Amino acid sequence: MGVYLSPVLSSLKTLMWFCPEVILSSCWRENCICNIKKLPSIDIRGGPTYHTDTFLVPLCVVNHEVCLLYTKRSDVMPCSGTKVTFPGGGKVLRDETVYEAAAYHTYVDIGIRDIKFWTKMGQVLSRGPNIAVTPVIGELTNFNMSKVKANENIADVFTVPLRLLCDPFNHGHCRYDGVVVPVYAGGKYHIWGITAMITHRFLYALLSREFYNPHFFRNEMKFRLMKP
């Protein structure tokens, strides 16, 4: 029989585990990197790959909570619609590493340079025009939202605490172009498509099943879909 925890104690336990002193510790980081190396690449469309893009999956601390930072693309970028995605998205040039590319594109997107890189994840082959996306995990050191300087391609920049991303009541799925994809609610905008897939893979590597046990297929979410 498990130990009963009152809602108050359970909430305190959750806050303790999601605090920066735990999640951003060197021990936790190394364990996450080890788990990421075991993750396979994902191909959700098939076919040849012509070039590689990268995204930064940025950890940051807001109000003493570890969060992930996302952007909402503006209508200025017709190829991206108004989708929610990670910052730092862009092509990896032949003479640069994925870390250099992610750092450059993140600065262009939101004006942030102070990034402590953890590792890169396996490629996700998107349904787009023959693009392989290599997510890069990084910690935004000394983060302050007031210092974010989004360019004209970014309509909004927002953060979501890990505790909300891990709450099963915020998990669901939607159908897009014949494919069932995961959805995270609970934040300012719905997170879905390839951004949700990358979020899921990272959280799965970062946290134990005690704190991250997703239930995407329990609830089909209805909302205005934008190009993923």
The pLDDT of residue 193 is above 60: yes
Sign, CA torsion 81/85/88/93: negative
Q: State pLDDT tens for residues 196-228.
A: 999 999 999 999 988 999 988 888 877 665 554
Domain ranges of the chain: 7-162
CATH says 7-162 is which class? Answer: alpha beta
From 193, 80, 85, select the one nearest 129 (Cα to Cα): 80
Please give the Cα distance from 111 to 147 (Å, whole number): 8
Q: State pLDDT tens for residues 5-25.
A: 334 334 555 667 789 999 999
Q: State pLDDT tens for residues 126-183.
A: 656 667 889 999 999 999 999 999 999 999 999 999 999 999 999 999 887 777 889 9
Is residue 164 within 8 A of residue 187, CB to CB? The reply is: yes
